Amino acid sequence: MTSSIFMHPATIFIIGALLLPLANKLKIQKIWLVLVPLLAFIQIHYLPESFGQVEWLGFDLQFGRVDQLTIVFLHVFTLMALIGSIFGLHVKESGQHLSAWLYVAGSLGTTLAGDYLTVFIFWELLAVSSVFLIWYRKRKRSIEAGYRYILVHTTGGLILLGGIFLHYQNGHDLSFVAISPDTATLAQYIIMVGFMLNAAVPPIHAWLPDAYPEATVIGAVFMCAFTTKTAVYVLARGFAGFEALMILGAIMTLYGVFYAVIENDARRILAYHIVSQVGYMVCGIGIGTEMAVNGAAAHAYAHILYKALLFMGVGSVLEMTGRSKLTELGGLYKYMPFTMICTIIGGIAISGFPLTSGFISKSMIIAAAGEEHQIIIMLMLALAAVGTFLSVGIKLPYFIFFGPNDCGLKPKEAYWNMKVGMSIAAFMCIFLGVFPDYLYNMLPYAVHWQPYTAHHLAETFYLLGFTGFAFYLMSKYLKPHDVSNLDLDWFYRRGADWFMWLARHPVSATNEWVSNVYRNVGLRFTMATAKALSWFDWEGIDWALDGSARGVVKGGDQVRQFQTGKLQQYIGAAAALVFIILIVVVLI
């Protein structure tokens, strides 16, 4: 039974999503799109520490557990839901908004879950709802990318579920609590792998740059904020201090940057930078110290806002021009100046410029690596920061809004609601950089880090200045090219092609041959056997049974002839029979 009843934040979005078609019919959809996430954003500030305890089929479930780690993610998730909904006010299709809100509900439910079964339920809601944000674009490539996306995440969900089963078998406890690296079992490592897939940790990352660029404009804005950061939350909740995460996270930062530098499509550049930036968070979780976990949580908060701002910027360009490839854009600063400014703000925030949100969060993780004497890890993170500024801080806005060529387009500025959404995100990027304590006060541990030191400022300006000078010298070599870059998704794309070829040719041909053999040999043999059994039934079994019956009837008729009904004849026959038996006995 439910021990306490409280409105779950995910419930607000689920009910709001289900009522969206009605709001659309009543012509109040735009009001509803603002009201529901605003209500959720306010409501999370009044959550009790624990609510929603339920006993179900012998399992103790907890739908609400609130602490400082939970609060920082709930705060940014609901804020992002509000920004994303405002950005998408011009979209009349209720289905897109419905999918987005169910997606948000899955993220909030996972964040508040106190047990693995509840985590799994909302984890699957994340995957199922978000795929429609890809399919709603209604292009062939989007449909195909959506199928690959859902297949990959279904596989990840099965891995997670398998780990949960093994974990429960070992201890008969589904509580979602921190796990020590020293006592971790195979089951818990399997759970971690399931979480890592959603965090896009290489080599199980390629679903992200494959799917996100094919989503709708508002779909990409939502997707860049929730799936990977929800995965960061569950890793921070359960697996802080696992050294493998530190190493893999550092690799992620460079891996994503490398592909972002050589990419041509603006949204694929940003998708690869999600891999890179989430790498900082995964690395911080792997380091596991209070400062590192604080840095991971702070960077997740900052990343959601500046990455959403960047996706809104390039999404606005895509919405107004129909193009997202850098080779097809250029010279748009004259026609979309507001979008240009917001995109540049997002670019300098992700690059870690002073007075922006990236500066106060990313540096905390790098400093935590230095404190733990992880010099190589620290250098990898710093090098990734250089690549980030090169590809997103400079290359992306340069070739979209300036560039050596004018694309010849004269688009209008983005819709008013899109500008409002971008304005809120841009404001938060600057606000957090100027007032870092606003974010630091929400973090799970006390913050003793001061980002604005002379050493840190000088180091940042040296790195960014060197990167800007390098771009100036090598701009002609960094010019984008309209080519497709292979990633690890090539293996399952080609694997799927090979599987389909195998199914269509050898397997289909074998099935056809077996069918022909059955029709020509097996079916005839079966019919012949059936006829033989039928003949045996009629001519053998029926003859024996019917013949026996006829014999019994005939014998009865013959015996009936001796039944005269005269008593003296029966007594005489009996006496004669006794006399015959006595003679036989005497003779023997």
Given this model, what pLDDT does residue 3 score? 42
**CA–CA separation, 150 and 153 (whole Å):** 5
65: three-class secondary structure by DSSP: strand
What's the farthest any 2 CA atoms get from each other in the chain?
142
Given this model, what pLDDT does residue 4 score? 45
- Burial degree of 294 (CB within 10 A; 0-12, 13-18, 19+): buried
Given this model, what pLDDT does residue 1 score? 36
Amino acid at 385: A
Given this model, what pLDDT does residue 113 score? 95
Q: Are the C-beta atoms of residues 201 and 282 closer than 8 Å to each other?
A: yes
Query: Given phi > 0 = left and psi -120 to 50 = alpha, else beta, which region is 408?
Result: left
Given this model, what pLDDT does residue 449 score? 87
C-beta atoms surrounding 463 within 10 Å: 17
Q: Are the C-beta atoms of residues 233 and 295 closer than 8 Å to each other?
A: no
- Burial degree of 244 (CB within 10 A; 0-12, 13-18, 19+): middle
Per-residue tokens: 241: 């201090």
Q: Are the C-beta atoms of residues 214 and 243 closer than 8 Å to each other?
A: no
Which residues on neighbouring strands pair with residue 62, listed in sequence order? Answer: 53
Given this model, what pLDDT does residue 587 score? 67
- Residue 56 backbone dihedrals phi, psi, to 5 degrees: -140, 120
Please give the full DSSP string across 432-493, using - where no structure is assigned. HHH-THHHHTTSSS-----S--HHHHHHHHHHHHHHHHHHHHHTTTS-----PPP-THHHHH
Long-range contacts, stretch 506-514, CB < 8 angstroms, 24+ apart: none
Q: How far apart are the first and last CA of the chain?
A: 92
- 428 CB contacts (<8 Å, ≥6 apart)? 79, 305, 357
- 476 CB contacts (<8 Å, ≥6 apart)? none
Given this model, what pLDDT does residue 544 score? 61
The stretches in the chain having pLDDT less than 50 are: 1-5
336: three-class secondary structure by DSSP: coil
Please give the full DSSP string across 111-154, using - where no structure is assigned. HH--BHHHHHHHHHHHHHHHHHHHHTT--HHHHHHHHHHHHHHH
Q: Which helix (H) or strand (E) holds 199?
A: none
Of 131, 135, 111, nearest to 122 by C-alpha is 111
Angle at 394 between CA 363 and CA 466, to 5 degrees: 60
Let me know how long the chain is. 588
**CA–CA separation, 219 and 149 (whole Å):** 14
Of 367, 243, 252, 351, nearest to 303 by C-alpha is 351
**CA–CA separation, 538 and 254 (whole Å):** 82
Amino acid at 344: I
Alpha helices in 322-371 (DSSP H): 337-350, 357-371
8-state DSSP, 64: E
Q: How many Cα atoms occupy the beta-carbon half-sphere of 29 within 13 Å?
A: 20
Q: Are the C-beta atoms of residues 361 and 351 closer than 8 Å to each other?
A: no
Long-range contacts, stretch 119-124, CB < 8 angstroms, 24+ apart: 119/176, 119/234, 120/157, 120/160, 120/161, 120/164, 122/10, 123/157, 123/160, 123/198, 124/157
Given this model, what pLDDT does residue 5 score? 45
Per-residue tokens: 557: 């008729």
Given this model, what pLDDT does residue 569 score? 62
